[in-house]
């Protein structure tokens, strides 16, 4: 595997279910991100991890719970979601969170998980 992978690619869940999204990066990066993309809207940053520590929680409801057990893996645990949480969830990684000065620290994205909450 290369780049950033995400599983599952599609997920349908009821409002009372608990599920998890998984992201893995094979780039040796130290920073990982969760984004949400709703239809026709910009990508919204949800969480940022740097060296396995959470450095950003962008006012995300507690029904979304991230976990970063090591610098290569990132999870998003979901429970009691609402239909409006249906969206494309994208994972990304970058070398560091130390700014975008110069080339080499751009964010690389996975293919996303298309989540539908019934």
Question: Which residues are near other proteins by CB under 8 A?
Answer: 4, 6, 9, 31, 40-43, 45, 48, 56, 90, 92, 94, 96-101, 103, 105-112
Q: How far is the CB of 29 from other proteins (least distance, A)?
A: 12
- Sheet with strand 18-25: strands edge to edge: 4-7, 18-25, 73-79, 64-70
Choose between 110 and 117: whose C-beta lies nearer to other proteins: 110
The minimum distance between CB 84 and other proteins, in angstroms, equals 17
For the bound state, the minimum distance from the C-beta of residue 52 to other proteins, rounded and expressed in Å, comes to 16
- Three-class secondary structure assignment of 86-108: CEEEEEEEECCCCCCCCCCCCCE
């Amino acid at each position: 595997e290369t780049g950033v992978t995400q599983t599952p690619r599609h997920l349908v869940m009821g409002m009372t279910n608990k599920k998890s999204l998984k992201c893995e990066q094979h780039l040796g990066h130290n920073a990982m991100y969760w984004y949400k993309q709703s239809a026709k809207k910009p990508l919204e940053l949800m969480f940022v991890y740097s060296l396995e520590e959470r450095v950003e929680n962008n006012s995300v409801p507690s029904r979304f719970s991230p976990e970063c057990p090591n610098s290569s893996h990132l999870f998003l645990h979901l429970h009691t979601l609402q239909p409006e949480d249906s969206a494309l969830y994208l994972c990304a990684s970058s070398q560091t969170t130390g700014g975008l000065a110069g080339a080499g620290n751009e964010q690389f994205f996975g293919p996303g998980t298309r989540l539908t909450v019934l």
